[in-house]
Amino acid sequence: MPNWRDILHEIQEFQREHIDQANAAIDIIRRKYLKKLHEYTQRNIIAYYSGFLSKPGILQADINDEDKNGFMMTTHKVDRSKGLDLILHTPGGSIAATQSIVDYLHQMYENDIRAVVPQIAMSAGTMMTCSCRTILMSKHSNLGPIDPHLNGIPAYGVIDEFKRACKEVKADPAKTAIWQSIIGQYRPTFLRRCENAIKWSNEFVTEQLTRVMYDGDPLAVNKAKRAVKKLTDPKKPHDRHIHYDECFNDIGLNLQRIEDDHVYQDLILSVHHCFMYTLMNTPSYKIIENHLGVALVKRDISSTIPQKTT
């Protein structure tokens, strides 16, 4: 299996042997492994990679409506009867954009979608995985809680804080001034927006799990509700990393271990290393790419290199 250093050496060797294509070496090697992965699985592949780890704080690195263009590009002209393996590496993002993208992919691939998480898919990324028939994870892979945040503020935290304020003020009116300074920072209707976001998130994931992942299971609704409850525990932090064993044994998601197929493991980790190397060593901060080499690549606006579509 090519590890991180092997991928780097392969890119450098290609640059030495093909001086005229040196600048394209990273793309060429990455697409070589995407093609190999497709040849092994015989399924369509779309890799969705965000550079949130190597470029923290960059705008638009999250899941947003603009991403729909990338998914449309990478779905065009493929044999959709072969299903889709969706490789995800993302911190999450907009619930609305996630729902729209998921709906589009289900229409295109008739729910025959597997999520692949080589490293991490958090928040709305976890929502995407719950919208698939099964999730492939490694020992080092992580999902995350799906509790919604509004402008970086946890919706469950706001609701809990408001309930606590009401309880304490009722018990001791002298605390009114203290809580006024805290609650007064919220904009009008913010509390309602938090409630709506929680309801929206929970209903969306429950519906996806029931209709797709647990389709045909007589206990589908109960299993979906239980999974959502586990994924939205307000007592646990939003950035908590949820590993394979907890996802499978405690939450009850349909999972497969990437390590169970060593050939597949080698291929998917080679693809992952290629994408991570690209994000760390180029101005790219988001890549949506399929096994045919069709890609939408978003680049840092401060870079002199323009956004690339291939």
One-character DSSP codes across 158-223: HHHHHHHHHHHHHH-GGGHHHHHHHHTTSPTTHHHHHHHHHHHHHHHHHHHIIIIITTT-TTHHHH
Q: What is the largest CA-CA distance in the chain?
A: 77
How confident is the chain (310 residues) per 10-residue block, as mean pLDDT? 72 70 81 97 98 89 96 97 98 96 97 97 97 97 92 83 85 85 82 91 97 97 97 85 96 97 96 94 95 94 48
Domains and CATH numbers, the chain: 4-144+241-309 (3.90.226), 148-220 (no CATH)
Nearest in space to 223 (alpha carbons), one of 188, 253, 243, 267? 253
Average pLDDT of the chain to the nearest whole number = 90
How high is the pLDDT of residue 60?
A: 87
Residue type present at position 119: Q
- Within 10 Å of residue 230's Cβ, how many Cβ atoms? 18
- What would the pLDDT profile of 234-282 be if each residue is shown by its tens digit? 877 888 999 999 999 999 999 999 999 999 999 999 999 999 999 998 9
Nearest residue to 67 (alpha-carbon basis) of 134, 128, 11, 122: 128
CA 194 to CA 204: how far, in whole Å?
15
pLDDT computed for residue 101 by the predictor = 98
Estimate the crossing angle of helix 262-281 against helix 4-17, to 10 degrees.
Answer: 70
User: Which residues are CB-neighbours of 100 under 8 A, at least 6 positions away?
Assistant: 65, 68
pLDDT of residue 271: 97
- For strands 84-89 and 295-299, give the pairing: unpaired
- In Å, what is the CA distance from 53 to each residue of 47, 50, 91, 297? 16, 8, 9, 17
Q: What is the DSSP letter of 76?
A: T
